[in-house]
Amino acid sequence: MELRVDLAGCTVLITGGEAASRRAVRRYQAARATVQRLERPGDFDPSMLDDVQLVAVVDDGQPGWAQVEQLSRLHRIPLTHEEAALANGSVTLVGGGPGATGLLTLHAAAALREADVVLFDRLAPTADLPDLAPAAELVDVGKQPGHHPIPQREIEALLIAHALAGRHVVRLKGGDPFVFGRGSEELAACVEAGVPCRVIAGISSAIAVPAAAGIPVTHREVSHLFTVVSGHAPLTDDEHLHLTGLGGTIVVLMGVGTLPQLAAGLARAGMRQDMPVAVVERGYSPSQRTTTGTLSTIVTAAGSARCQSPAVLVIGEVVRVGLNLAGAAQLADLPQPVAVP
Ligand code: SAH
């Protein structure tokens, strides 16, 4: 449960053993209250209530808390009951969507609210994390392209260590955890360590970032399939041939660095030189930008626009559909794309 009240200047007495009350303690601290702890009913002394404005009872199963409740009522001190934190920790892999807080799912928001610790990535929605996860320690394990501040195996070890210490761990990732997100590796590590782990799907940038630029990945009678490809490493000529042969939309993630090889490879494989291509950078941020061209012009266009990661590339006739829609000014707040030559 979220605590949105500002308790600055209030003293709150929280009952319950350390493990059971830890989440309540962090939530009240996040609400700026001064927290006093009472871990055992036997340690209760009525004078403890003297300067207390609120009593938060965490029922951790110890007999004897009723006396604290009775006396609080007698002194007309407001009383609230808090759920005990579970003794067993867990890991929740959460897809955070493409960056905008509004594109988090309700399940993602609920998991964040309950989290004791959040390990988040560079492309995860981080702007509102302190509000979304008020009780959690926030740990940035983000990777810059080419730099790996925390290696993947260490992230997995961290997840497991926190969970084995009894914490509810949220692993917050950009987009969907199972789309180029190494989510399945983290799930496998948790399973191997015997840590309960669940997955909350997220909105993938593969679909959402083109949409933010007004480009549909499918459109009746234009494209009835889309393929999502990683551009992390250049594709093989076989792959260029297969992609070209499919004749549908191609969506490339992590593809800015390998765009020259991709454009040349698709051209070698016989793709039309005038096939529309769009590069959509920083989707859903104030600096979102769309650069467009054709298979033969996009490398120069992206170079002169200094396109950078993170960006989603879209190759296919749907790009023209998107430009026509945007041209008709039906979509509010769209960045104005450069016309396809
Ligand atoms: N699991 C993520 C993808 C991780 S790979 C998902 O499902 O979206 C990281 C790549 O995603 C980036 O290099 C970029 O290609 C793309 N990406 C993620 N967020 C983006 C955004 N807001 N704008 C543009 N591209 C984005």
| Cβ of residue 183 lying under 6 Å from some atom of ligand 1 | no
Reference 204, options 233, 173, 226, 231; nearest CA is 173
Mean pLDDT (whole number) for 51-70? 90
- In a domain, residue 2? The reply is no
pLDDT tier for residue 144 given thresholds of 50, 70 and 90:
low
Residue of 32 and 228 predicted with greater confidence:
228
Say if residue 74 is in the same domain as residue 190.
no
Say if residue 282 is in the same domain as residue 267.
yes
- In a domain, residue 232? The reply is yes
User: Which of 60, 116, 121, 176 is labelled catalytic?
Assistant: 121
Residues 82, 59: Cα–Cα separation, whole Å: 7
pLDDT tier for residue 338 given thresholds of 50, 70 and 90:
very low
List phi, psi (to 5°) of 57. Answer: -95, 115
* Model pLDDT for residues 43-54, shown as the tens digit of each residue: 999 999 999 999
- In a domain, residue 4? The reply is no
* Residue where a domain stops, chosen among 59, 82, 105: 82
Specify the CATH number for the domain of residue 271. Answer: 3.30.950.10
- In a domain, residue 198? The reply is yes
Residue to substitute in 147, 187, 253 for testing ligand 1 pocket (most ligand atoms within 8 angstroms of CB): 253
Position 17 pLDDT exceeds 50: yes
Give the range with max mean pLDDT: 58-62, 65-69, 317-321.
Answer: 317-321
* Model pLDDT for residues 235-251, shown as the tens digit of each residue: 999 999 999 999 999 99
- In a domain, residue 127? The reply is yes
What is the pTM for the complete model shown?
0.80
**Cα 74 to averaged position of ligand 1 atoms, centre (Å):** 57
Residues 278, 60: Cα–Cα separation, whole Å: 57
Its domain, for residue 236, covers 206-340
Nearest CA to ligand 1 atom 2: 175
121 is a catalytic site residue? yes
* Model pLDDT for residues 210-236, shown as the tens digit of each residue: 999 999 999 999 999 999 999 999 999
Q: What is the pLDDT of residue 332?
A: 41
* Residue where a domain stops, chosen among 160, 180, 203: 203
Position 333 pLDDT exceeds 50: no
Q: How many percent of the chain have pLDDT more than 70?
A: 92
Q: What is the pLDDT of residue 148?
A: 63
Position 11 pLDDT exceeds 50: yes
| Cβ of residue 212 lying under 6 Å from some atom of ligand 1 | no
* Model pLDDT for residues 93-111, shown as the tens digit of each residue: 999 999 999 999 999 999 9
76, burial (CB in 10 Å: exposed 0-12, middle 13-18, buried 19+): exposed
Residues 75, 52: Cα–Cα separation, whole Å: 10
| Cβ of residue 282 lying under 6 Å from some atom of ligand 1 | yes
pLDDT tier for residue 329 given thresholds of 50, 70 and 90:
very low
Say if residue 68 is in the same domain as residue 27.
yes
Reference 237, options 218, 265, 264, 213; nearest CA is 265
Q: What is the pLDDT of residue 143?
A: 61
Tally of domains in the chain = 3
Position 34 pLDDT exceeds 50: yes
Q: What is the pLDDT of residue 30?
A: 82
Say if residue 156 is in the same domain as residue 240.
no
Say if residue 211 is in the same domain as residue 262.
yes
Angle of helix 237-246 relative to helix 259-268, nearest 10 degrees? 70
Say if residue 142 is in the same domain as residue 268.
no
- In a domain, residue 325? The reply is yes
**Cα 44 to averaged position of ligand 1 atoms, centre (Å):** 53
| Cβ of residue 283 lying under 6 Å from some atom of ligand 1 | yes
Q: Please answer whether residues 95 and 173 qualify as being in contact, where contact means their C-beta atoms are separated by less than 8 angstroms.
A: yes
**Residue bearing tokens 């003794």:** 87
Position 337 pLDDT exceeds 50: no
Enter the tokens of residue 195: 């840590």
Residue of 278 and 5 predicted with greater confidence:
278
| Cβ of residue 179 lying under 6 Å from some atom of ligand 1 | yes
Say if residue 182 is in the same domain as residue 214.
no
Residue of 122 and 259 predicted with greater confidence:
259
Mean pLDDT (whole number) for 180-187? 94
Residues 211, 217: Cα–Cα separation, whole Å: 8
Say if residue 195 is in the same domain as residue 214.
no
Other Cβ atoms less than 10 A from the Cβ of 37: the count is 15
Q: How many percent of the chain have pLDDT more than 90?
A: 75
Residues 66, 69: Cα–Cα separation, whole Å: 5
In this structure, what DSSP letter does residue 234 have?
P
- In a domain, residue 1? The reply is no
Q: Biggest alpha carbon distance in the chain?
A: 84
**Cα 225 to averaged position of ligand 1 atoms, centre (Å):** 20
* Residue where a domain stops, chosen among 179, 203, 227: 203
Reference 283, options 114, 128, 102, 79; nearest CA is 102
Residue of 68 and 253 predicted with greater confidence:
253
Residue of 82 and 279 predicted with greater confidence:
279
